[in-house]
Amino acid sequence: MENLQGLLENFGPLLLIIVVFYFFMIRPQMKKAKEAKKFKENLKKGDHVVTIGGIHGKLDELNDTTVVIDINGKFKLTVERSAISPEYSKGTGESTLAQQPRK
């Protein structure tokens, strides 16, 4: 019994740190990666997106690893699917793009 109590006193704080580290660091990162993967798999033609470089546009063509983005109806840009930002693309839409001044 004393052996078990001594073992818990020595390794208890270490186990607690590991559990806290898992729930505050690893688990949220795994959840975020899963959501990003789901977002990239559900992209479809016509979706408004923002790249990680800040380029706004509408998806014109989708391939296995790349997408073609139509920028303002004048340019077409081919980028990797991984270059589409899920964080910024969720908030874009017609109203955001319509507010931009046309030249």
For residues 57 and 95, state if they share a domain. Answer: yes
Claim: this prediction has a pTM higher than 0.75: no
Domain that holds residue 12: 1-42
Q: Identify the CATH number of the domain in which residue 59 sits.
A: 2.30.30
For residues 35 and 54, state if they share a domain. Answer: no
Residue 98: the pLDDT is: 43
Q: How far is CA 10 from the centre of its chain?
A: 40
Could you report the per-residue pLDDT of 65-98, keeping only the tens digit for each? 999 999 998 999 999 998 998 887 776 554 344 4
Domains of the chain: total: 2
Q: How far, CA to CA in Å, does 63 sit from each of 13, 44, 79?
A: 50, 10, 10
